[in-house]
Amino acid sequence: MDTAQPATSPIDDEWIEHHFDHLAPEFARDFQPTLARARSLCPVLHSDQHDGFFIATQYEEVLRVAQNWRTFSSERGITVPHTPTPMKVLPVTIDPPLQREFRKLINGYFRPAVVAEWEHQTRVLVNRLIDGFIESGECDFMESFARPLPGLAFFDMALHAPADDLEMVNGWATLASTPDHPDGMDSHIKLAGWISGFMAERRRQGPRGDVVDGVMSAQIEGRPITEAEAIGTIHLLILGGLETTAGVLGMSMLRFCEQPEIPALLRSDPTVIPGAVEELLRLDGSFICIGRTARHDTEVAGQKIKEGERILMYWVSANRDEAQFENPDTFDPTRTRNPHIAFGAGPHRCAGSNLARMNLRIAFEEITRRLHDIKLQPGADVEFHSTFNRAPRTVPITFTPGPRSGAV
C-alpha cells in the first residue's frame, strides 16, 4: 500500500531536499512514497520552509534525537512552525527531570494490570458500536466506530466523564491536533475550559481513585500541583488518547479493504492479532512526527544544527526504514523482531501505549469476527487530515449485513 510514487506527483527531489513542507496537502496525498524517497536521499534533510527546520527520516537518527533530551529539548518547542498553545500541555512540552515527575503520576493509571481490568467493558463497547451499523451493511467507519471508540472507552473507564460531552470534546480534540486549522487555538481554549468545569464537578463528587483524582491531588517537586498544571495534564491525556487510536483504526480499515487476506487471516487465526496490532502500528502509525529544539549547537548525521533550530522526527518513516526492517512495506504479523517506534522513544514515549494496544486488539478481534466481505464503497475518495497526526476523514465501507449482538 502507498509505496510507489505516481508519475504525476508534484513532489520532486528538489522539494524533498530543500523545500520539504509537512503541512503541504500534496505531501498528505503522496505520503509514504515521499518519505521513502526522503530516506533514500539523506538521513537528515534541511528545509527552507517555515523559517527553516530539519527532518529526520531514518530509524537510527530518529531514535538518537528522541533519546537525547539533553540536546533536543521539548520545553523549547515541539512544533514547526512554533505554535505555543494558550496553556502548557503536560508533560509533552517539558524536559526531564520535571517531566519525569508528571510521568510517574500518570504511568500508574495505565499499567498493563490496570488496563486489563477494562477489557470486558471495552469488548461490550466495541460490540455495541458494531451493533449500531451491522444490519445496514454499510457505514462510515470513522464516524460510526473509529472516532467514538477511543473516546467512549477513555471517558467511561479512565476519566469517568459524562459520555454526553464526548462528541463535543472529540470535535475540539480533532481541531486542536491540527495546528494549521484556523479553529485549532480556539479548540484548545474550549477544551481547557471544559476540563476546568469537569474537575470542579469531580471535586464536588468526591474521590473515585482514578487518574483525575491522582492528577488533582498530585505533589510536584514537593508542592501541590497547580490548577493550570492539572488542566494541562488532563488536556494531553485527552488529545493523546482520542485522535491517535482513531487514526490507526481508520488506516487499518483501509488496509483491510485493500488487502482482504489480512482480515481473513485474523478471522481464521485470532492468535496472530497481537502481532497484527504491532504490524499495523508500524505500517500505519497515526502519530506521524513531532519536533524538538536544539538546546546547543550540535550535529546529526553530518548536518550541523544550531542552538534554537528545530528538527522533526518522523516516527512513521523510521518504522519503514529498509535498514531496520526486512521488507518494510509488507504486513507480516509473524515478524520475530519488530522494534517499531509508533509510540515514540526516549523519556516522552507514549504514556497510553497499553491502553491503545488493548483497544486496537479488541477492535480487530470483534471486527474480523463479525464483519465479512468488507469493501471500500465504490467511488470513495478518502482524504487525510495529516499534520502531526494522520487520520482519514472518512472511510465509507460496505460489508455483508449481519445480526446485532445485543451488547449492552
Give the shortest CB-313-to-ligand HEM separation in angstroms: 7
Give the shortest CB-138-to-ligand HEM separation in angstroms: 26
Interface with ligand HEM (CB under 6 A), residue from 194, 315, 384, 388: 315
The answer to whether 252 touches 374, Cβ cutoff 8 Å, is no
Give the shortest CB-69-to-ligand HEM separation in angstroms: 9
For 312, counting Cβ atoms within 10 Å of its Cβ (0-12 exposed, 13-18 middle, 19+ buried), the class is buried
Contact between 63 and ligand HEM by CB under 6 A: the answer reads no
Which residue, 11 or 90, has its beta carbon nearer to ligand HEM?
90
What part of residues 338-357 is at the interface with ligand HEM (CB under 6 A)? Answer: 342-344, 348, 350-352, 355-356
Interface with ligand HEM (CB under 6 A), residue from 85, 177, 252, 286: 286
What are the grid coordinates assigned to 367, written together?
471486527
Give the shortest CB-314-to-ligand HEM separation in angstroms: 11
Give the shortest CB-279-to-ligand HEM separation in angstroms: 13
Candidate segments 35-43, 129-137, 281-289, 293-301, binder of ligand HEM by CB under 6 A:
281-289
Interface with ligand HEM (CB under 6 A), residue from 50, 76, 103, 190: 103
Buried b (16+ CB within 10 A) or exposed e, 57-67: bbbebbbbbbe
Nearest to 212 by CA among 116, 222, 225, 86: 225
Interface with ligand HEM (CB under 6 A), residue from 110, 118, 141, 198: 110
The answer to whether 323 touches 59, Cβ cutoff 8 Å, is yes
What part of residues 241-270 is at the interface with ligand HEM (CB under 6 A)? Answer: 241, 244-245, 248
**In terms of residues, how long is the chain?**
408
Name the CA dihedral angle for 201, 205, 208, 213, rounded to a multiple of 10 degrees. Answer: 40
Contact between 240 and ligand HEM by CB under 6 A: the answer reads yes
Say which residue the cell 497510553 belongs to.
Answer: 352
Say which residue the cell 500518570 belongs to.
Answer: 106
What are the grid coordinates assigned to 183, written together?
479553529
Candidate segments 11-19, 196-204, 232-240, 331-339, binder of ligand HEM by CB under 6 A:
232-240
Contact between 237 and ligand HEM by CB under 6 A: the answer reads yes
Buried b (16+ CB within 10 A) or exposed e, 344-358: bbbbbebbbbbbbbb
Give the shortest CB-402-to-ligand HEM separation in angstroms: 27
Buried b (16+ CB within 10 A) or exposed e, 213-225: bbbbebebeeeeb
What part of residues 355-384 is at the interface with ligand HEM (CB under 6 A)? Answer: 355-356
Contact between 232 and ligand HEM by CB under 6 A: the answer reads no
Contact between 130 and ligand HEM by CB under 6 A: the answer reads no
What part of residues 67-86 is at the interface with ligand HEM (CB under 6 A)? Answer: 74, 78
Task: Give the contacts of 37 (CB within 8 A, at least 6 positions apart).
Answer: 5, 11, 13, 16
Distances from the Cα of 112 to the Cα of 115, 117, 228, angstroms: 5, 9, 29
Give the shortest CB-247-to-ligand HEM separation in angstroms: 7
What part of residues 187-226 is at the interface with ligand HEM (CB under 6 A)? Answer: none
Contact between 89 and ligand HEM by CB under 6 A: the answer reads no
Which residue, 93 or 368, has its beta carbon nearer to ligand HEM?
93
Q: Within 10 A of 404 (CB to CB), how many other CB atoms are there?
A: 14
Q: Which CB contacts under 8 angstroms, 24+ apart, belong to 293-296?
A: 293/72, 293/73, 293/76, 293/77, 293/78, 294/71, 294/72, 294/73, 295/70, 295/71, 295/72, 295/73, 295/76, 296/71
Interface with ligand HEM (CB under 6 A), residue from 43, 148, 151, 285: 285
Nearest to 67 by CA among 386, 348, 354: 348
Candidate segments 128-136, 234-242, 265-273, 393-401, binder of ligand HEM by CB under 6 A:
234-242
Give the shortest CB-50-to-ligand HEM separation in angstroms: 18
Which residue, 99 or 368, has its beta carbon nearer to ligand HEM?
99
Contact between 91 and ligand HEM by CB under 6 A: the answer reads yes
Instruction: Give the total of residues touching ligand HEM (CB under 6 A).
Output: 30
What are the grid coordinates assigned to 229, written together?
498544571
DSSP notation for 68-106: -TTTEESTT--SSS----SS--TTTTS-TTHHHHHHHHH
Residues contributing to the site for ligand HEM (CB under 6 A): 66, 74, 78, 91-92, 99, 103, 106, 110, 236-237, 240-241, 244-245, 248, 285-287, 290, 315, 342-344, 348, 350-352, 355-356
